[in-house]
Amino acid sequence: MSKCIISPSVLASDLSKLSSECQRMIDNGCDWLHMDVMDGNFVPNITMGAPILTWVHKNVPDIFMDCHMMVADPAKWVPEVAQAGGKSYTFHYEATSDPEGVIAKIKEHKMLVGLAISPQTPSSVITDSLGNSVDMLLVMTVQPGYGGQKFKPECLEKVKELRARFPGKNIQVDGGVGSGNACQCARAGSNVIVAGTAIFGADDPKQTILDIRNSVNG
């Protein structure tokens, strides 16, 4: 099994003090920080963009910014996000007719490549060549657009299927995940856990991160 990576979604943090919220999660033992970029077009919500990522990177230079791009034109933002300090760039299969082109552009800009599928998208769209050309697959376990939604367990079938086909890849789950169901996600084959509300809303986020890590590591 690939290494367990925990990536708190900062959408659930106090965004008015984003840098210190990121630092707080690093101090609490997270591995990455999940930055949800939404454009009000691919999804019906607007969050943050490259200017905000730039400031986070300046204030918290050591953080691995795991950028989840819920945008209608994923190729467009690659240079800005790389320049802002993004380490991985995950785009949606549904947002482009040229995933190979987007992948090539992300690689040119020296970021890790993630490919996401929304709940209605079957895992079969990820062909062997597509899956093998990325660093991470993201299986959404809620409809992208908002934090704090209910986990859709039926999406884990796709995690299972992808894990069987891509044994060495990072497989991320995102949406409604916490210490109660991380174990189910890990059993299906996910090793990269995004959790927003469950971590930022916890009385003891350090313990929650530890609980999630323990349940993934079994």
- Find out whether 147 is annotated in a ligand binding site: yes
Using CB distances below 5 to 8 A depending on partner kind, what does residue 18 bind out of ligand DX5, Zn ion, none?
Answer: none
Task: State the nearest-atom distance from the C-beta of 143 to ligand DX5, in Å.
Answer: 7
Using CB distances below 5 to 8 A depending on partner kind, what does residue 117 bind out of ligand DX5, Zn ion, none?
Answer: none
**Closest residue to ligand DX5 in the complex (CB):** 196
Give the catalytic positions in this structure. 36, 174
108-147 residues in contact with ligand DX5 (CB under 6 A) are 142, 144-147
CB of 39 or CB of 174, closer to Zn ion: 174
Tell me which of 23, 26, 148, 202 binds ligand DX5, using CB under 6 A: 148
The site string for ligand DX5 over 158-177 (x = CB under 6 A, - otherwise) reads: ----------------xxxx
| Distance between start and end Cα atoms, the chain | 11
Using CB distances below 5 to 8 A depending on partner kind, what does residue 149 bind out of Zn ion, ligand DX5, none?
Answer: ligand DX5
What is the C-alpha separation between 22 and 63, in angstroms, rounded?
8
**Closest residue to Zn ion in the complex (CB):** 68
Residue 57 contacts Zn ion per CB under 5 A: no
Site for ligand DX5, rule CB under 6 A? 9, 11-12, 34, 36, 68, 142, 144-149, 174-177, 194-198
